[in-house]
Amino acid sequence: MKKSEKSNKRLDHCGFTSILLFGAAAICVFTLIPVATASADNSSHRPIAFTESGFVIGSTTDGGNEFLGIPYAAPPVGALRWTPPKRYEFFPRFVLQATQFGSACTQPGGIGSENCLFLNVYTPHMESGDRRHHGLPVMFWIHGGGLIDGSSNPYNPERLVKKGVIVVTINYRLGYLGFFAQSAIDAEGHLNGDYGLMDQQFALGWVRRNIANFGGDPDRVTIFGESAGGQSVYAQLASPLASGMFRGAISESGSYAEFQDYFANIVTLAVGETQGTPAVPSGAAIADSVGCTNQTASCLRAVPAATMVAGEPFPLYPFVDGTLLTQTMSAAFASGEFNQVPVISGTNHDEYRLFVALDYDLVGNPILTSAEYDTAVTALWGPVLAPTVLALYPFASYPTGGEALGASGTDGVFSCPARIADQSLAKFVPTYTYEFNDENAPPSQSEFGGVLTFPLGAYHSAEIPYLFKTGNVFGLPESLSPRQKRLSDAMVSYWTQFAETGDPNSSGEPLWSPYSASTDEFQSLIPPVPMVESNFDSSHQCSTFWDTF
């Protein structure tokens, strides 16, 4: 989904400022911690908090306090492109008016800027001196977008914040500016390849150092994300460098690149530099494509950011660099060599229908005939797997070609790989598995004005409006029915209770038991009230087909 971006032109990286003045500011802060603000009906007072870079002054809304566009690292520009994030110094005059989002990171379509390492902090309302909202659990959101697009800006966490948690949303480097393996750069001696994952960890470090001043508990941080954000959650679980940075993890639809053997898109730096994968060109080929045939780092750092990200494939993938990721997520989970914290992990019942819509119907080429379907299956699964997939998912067994392709894509790309991850994780940590099953998630097929030949069902990202206020879905107004609002309440309760205790259960919602391979039960997030689902394996043909490769 495309979202408009708000640029924050006020935030320029500042040089070192007087230690003496900084010390005076630090002394003053003790009268202002935790966050002080007037109640929601008194907008004459604005919330204020202190950070390592100075004071941030936010704004108050009906949903809580907002501190927007806080830089958590120095802008990764010029010589800092493709280097680990560096600490931001001080705000001009030690004060930041944190009322506008920072720029999104550079991405295709002329969107964003390299000066993009910003985060936003959302806190509940509180009066000055009110200790009830001190030491709150923190939820750290990592946005999706295939590691090539998106930003923190569209995700309004009001529903979560009203349940008594603090939510932090972040930007991180994207595309070839965030995930790039190239020999000259990798020879510079710093951490390499996974710059976007480095940014996520750096932001987690900022949270650990600063969130207490917003009323949060730095020892109760839960990371959560969807799609590429969910994949990032899995990566942070697997990363030795993220040890101790979070106490819980929630991955929504993050299984699309791992946990099976028929895709091999997460590779080592050496392979990424010289060979690439069927999905992503090598670093050498990328350098050639932007005019740096000499393969020098100086040439690459001089390439305009917009040129660097033009023509990127969707999606990109992290690398096994040997330090941040010492092995694939699949290997780490299977061996138990990961950050062992409680996990919520799930997928949506019709994940791949979104991509069918984007790749076919919404560009004027719906899959209407059996021959078109055969071609689409071959494009997705390749000539080796395609004949078997066509036999198992025949065109004639589905109302439309879109639903047929959506079924194999959902099962093979998302659902069955996620179940493998769940089975590995559950051997070591409490793992709560779900399937989002609202087949009528907005928007409806009719709202597309006849463009779609099939219903989207519980498509990839359909669960997000049940957790966040996003304003619109596919550019259409966000609207939940009373039954869907009841499901939203249950999901918000599960997510925030998990952040509070490491267990999603509370007295107000149906019991959600940890996953066990022996029972193979998932929590079905279906309106109006979640229930236990025991047919996940059979409905997605996991053990009978996809797990056999």
Q: Which residues carry out catalysis?
A: 227, 351, 460
3-state secondary structure of 137: strand
d(CA 225, CA 208): 18
Burial class (CB in 10 A: 0-12, 13-18, 19+), 27: exposed
Helix H or strand E segment including 57 = strand 54-57
Burial class (CB in 10 A: 0-12, 13-18, 19+), 33: middle
Burial code of 333-354, b = ≥16 C-beta within 10 A, e = fewer?
bbeeebbebbbbbbbbbbbbbb
d(CA 79, CA 301): 7
The tokens for 416 are 């069955």
The pair phi, psi for residue 234, each rounded to 5°, is -60, -40
d(CA 225, CA 512): 20
d(CA 468, CA 169): 12
The pair phi, psi for residue 485, each rounded to 5°, is -65, -35
The tokens for 474 are 């596919």
Helix H or strand E segment including 533 = strand 531-533
d(CA 528, CA 117): 39
